[in-house]
Structure 1
Amino acid sequence: MRSLTANVGRKNNSSENIFQDTNIRRILISRPNQRLGNLLLITPLLQEIAAVYPQCKIDLFVKGGVAPQIFRNYDTIDTIIELPKKPFKEPFRYLKSWLKIRTTSYDLAINVDKVSSSGRLSVRFSRARFKLFGDSLNESIGLMYFDFKHIAKAPVYNFRFAGLQENIFDKSDKVPYLDLKLDHSEILNGRKILQALVPENTKVISLFTYATGSKCHSVEWWEEFYEKVRLHFLDYTIIEILPVENISQIGSKALTYYSRDIREIGSVIANTSVFIGADSGIMHLASASKIPVIGLFNVTNPLKYSPYNHNSLGIETADNNIENIIEVLETILRYRLRT
């Protein structure tokens, strides 16, 4: 499918002069993917679009049922068009979702991931005056930004340089951080849940030891890491955030927290001092909850998937031993949290 759709929109010229049009009122953003992390990673683009077109309404073309939870507090979002996870089991719902983007008139349609076949096709299929397929960045523009390959930042850079309107934005403008937009009541609820596990005012390190497939570090690695962190930071309590599979790579030696509510998990993490976990959707959820995050990478590329917010970074565990990671953690806890 990628080879068949690679050239869809390549000769499209409808993106020209997009920022000179002040009548952009309805926008379609296409990210037909059901993974938690991939959906959270479009929150910088949503913020960027809202800043440029504050009066616009956005429809999201996604997959699965998690999007309404993630984007609950995004006022600019109007309709979430959800493809079923298994289209052959729900063919009529699948076709209805595609017809929705065809029967709605949009001023602008944006494909988030340029290698997404469904994303490219959905933008091509839409009735939009302007269409962005994710190919705005050419090599010379990409060289201006060391981080343009990051999966959360590339769509923003693509949007900024659509139609080659380089002068619209200051090149020093920072890409917005991931943001779950937790409200005050959600933060308070997360604090209440945390206080049921540890005494009030306890400093907490949140740990997530699971990841899918080869991204998951071994039980032996995690057990050694946990013991060294526990002994090095005796003034902190470690709480393990359990995945939906309810699996612990450290044999539940730490206090554990389990929930299937995405926003509740985020609110609990938001009340901890730092999050440590392998490359996963929960890692990006922690980033979107606005606390420092250390992402542990053993197969995926941190240049593309690193946690993205203030005081966060990705570490390749093949190139850094546990002592190196602890030094980074100590720097975050002792110094960066004071700034």
Structure 2
Amino acid sequence: MTRSEIPLSVTVPIVIDHDVRPTHRHLLGVGELPPRDIFRILLLRPNHRLGNTLLLTPLLTELERRYPGAEIDLVTGCEAADDVFAGFRQVRHIHQLTRRPGHHPVHLLRTLLLLRRNRYDLAIDSTRGSRSGRLLLFLSGARHLLGLPSSKRELREGGSAWQTALAHAPSHFSLDGVYALRCAMGLPFMAQDAIWPPMRIHLRAEEQVCGRALLTDLLGHAPDGDHQVIALFPNATGNKRLGGEWWLALADALKAANPRLSFIEMLPAHGQSQLQLRFPAFYSSNVRRMAAVLAQCHGYISADCGVMHLACAAGVPTLGLFTRDNLTRYRPRGPHDEALCVADCAPAEVAAAAAPFLHALPR
């Protein structure tokens, strides 16, 4: 095995001194997290993707509500984390891991030692299924460890209380950590559905003004009541991506059914138009500038991707187009958001299915 092939789960035990390595500790059980005496919180999501980072924001909102006197540190691999979490008043420090932390053992060791010196009251692995997140949780040295049980051993140790709780768990990825926190605090299952915190990026008033000015410049005129501006982001990774010709056909079908629509194209990181520059195009490497422009649009349409979650967090009505069977887990979940499964669907079919979403857009 070469160094580039060494996973985090192998690297961490190698680089950590035996005197520092923690003994096995259990996850918090249902109702075991105290409502007070929690002041130093560590939130773990060692992932580099923008979408997965934005999906943490509901948990941050929940922590600010449940523990308003606490400070929160985060461990992330996302380079845009500072921009995403700006405006969350209790975030103190963001520990930035490299995209592949197992490839940089010295940096990883320094981060782990710093985490342990902070002596956190609570560390949270924010989602199920992340082996690196769970490993960092047990290495954090925190007084209380929180995460939804996922392995057979964790389910066995959690007992019937966690098994009952998991039967009521919400399906959306962004609510894993929120639900784990509420269960650990002993909140009744039947009261869980009342209010789920939304995904959110906190834009300042001056950023909103700048976003409106940028959109006005793109359109050549201020947004008015005669047209509804729809932002398109025709890019995604792997088999989530729909081709440029498919998107152009979709835009034509949407326009034919809704003559009042006008479109702008949000460009991906490589800065190349996917729609042959047919529509005004906007590029920015700064996610807050992107969010500020999106927040001024009437609606947003894209495949499942990080920018879809950014649009949702910015508060613009969002329509997500899914080619995989993970719609329930990752769909945009704002009050005016919708999601469609478009696998093997022609653009005209998708345009017809999108009609209720477009009809409900603000005028």
TM-score scaled to structure 1, two decimals? 0.89
Equivalent position of 2:153 in the other structure = none
Q: Taking structure 1 as reference, are residues 321 and 11 closer, same or farther at Cα in structure 2, changes over 3 Å only?
A: farther
SS in 2 for 1:128: coil
Consecutive unaligned residues in structure 1, runs of 5 or more: none
> 1:205-229, CA deviations, whole angstroms, 9 ceiling, x for partnerless residues?
0000000111101233222112112
The one of 269, 273, 278 aligned to 1:253: 278
Structure 1 residue 9: Cα displacement? 10
Q: Does 1:331 align with 2:356?
A: yes
Q: Does 1:36 align with 2:36?
A: no
Give, in whole Å, the separation in 1 of the partners of 2:29 and 2:299: 41
- Equivalent residue runs for 1:282-293 within 5 Å: 282-293=307-318
Equivalent position of 2:154 in the other structure = none
Letter in 2 for 1:40: L
The one of 316, 322, 327 aligned to 2:341: 316
Q: Taking structure 1 as reference, are residues 141 and 21 closer, same or farther at Cα in structure 2, changes over 3 Å only?
A: closer
Letter in 1 for 2:215: L
Give, in whole Å, the separation in 1 of the partners of 2:323 and 2:90: 37
Letter in 1 for 2:296: N
CA contact (8 A) 1:209 1:249 kept: yes
Moved more, 229-238 or 62-71: 229-238
CA contact (8 A) 1:273 1:333 kept: no
SS in 2 for 1:196: helix
Give, in whole Å, the separation in 1 of the partners of 2:357 and 2:78: 36
CA contact (8 A) 2:31 2:187 kept: no
Equivalent position of 2:216 in the other structure = 195
Equivalent position of 1:212 in the other structure = 237
Q: Does 1:186 align with 2:211?
A: no
CA contact (8 A) 1:58 1:77 kept: yes
Q: Does 1:160 align with 2:182?
A: yes
Structure 1 residue 201: Cα displacement? 2.4
> 1:89-135, CA deviations, whole angstroms, 9 ceiling, x for partnerless residues?
75432321122211111111000122111111111011211101322
Letter in 1 for 2:171: K
Structure 1 residue 13: Cα displacement? 5.0
Letter in 1 for 2:84: I
Give, in whole Å, the separation in 1 of the partners of 2:9 and 2:97: 22
Letter in 1 for 2:79: G
Give, in whole Å, the separation in 1 of the partners of 2:41 and 2:249: 49
The one of 105, 123, 146 aligned to 1:132: 146
The one of 188, 194, 201 aligned to 1:173: 194
SS in 2 for 1:20: coil
Q: Does 1:102 align with 2:116?
A: yes
SS in 2 for 1:172: coil
Moved more, 116-125 or 13-22: 13-22
Give, in whole Å, the separation in 2 of the partners of 1:166 and 1:83: 33
> 1:272-291, CA deviations, whole angstroms, 9 ceiling, x for partnerless residues?
00000001000000000001
Q: Taking structure 1 as reference, are residues 15 and 286 closer, same or farther at Cα in structure 2, changes over 3 Å only?
A: same
The count of residues paired between Structure 1 and Structure 2 equals 333
Q: CA RMSD in A?
A: 2.7
CA contact (8 A) 2:9 2:132 kept: no
The one of 221, 233, 246 aligned to 1:221: 246
Equivalent position of 1:151 in the other structure = 173
Give, in whole Å, the separation in 1 of the partners of 2:190 and 2:103: 45
Letter in 2 for 1:112: S
Equivalent position of 2:80 in the other structure = 66
Q: Taking structure 1 as reference, are residues 319 and 89 closer, same or farther at Cα in structure 2, changes over 3 Å only?
A: closer
> 1:15-43, CA deviations, whole angstroms, 9 ceiling, x for partnerless residues?
56444341111100000011000000010
Equivalent position of 1:266 in the other structure = 291
Moved more, 15-24 or 124-133: 15-24
TM-score scaled to structure 2, two decimals? 0.84
Q: Taking structure 1 as reference, are residues 3 and 118 closer, same or farther at Cα in structure 2, changes over 3 Å only?
A: closer
Q: Does 1:307 align with 2:321?
A: no
Consecutive unaligned residues in structure 2, runs of 5 or more: 1-6, 13-21, 150-157
Moved more, 185-194 or 247-256: 247-256
CA contact (8 A) 1:30 1:61 kept: yes
Letter in 2 for 1:235: R
CA contact (8 A) 1:223 1:249 kept: no
Give, in whole Å, the separation in 2 of the partners of 1:257 and 1:330: 25
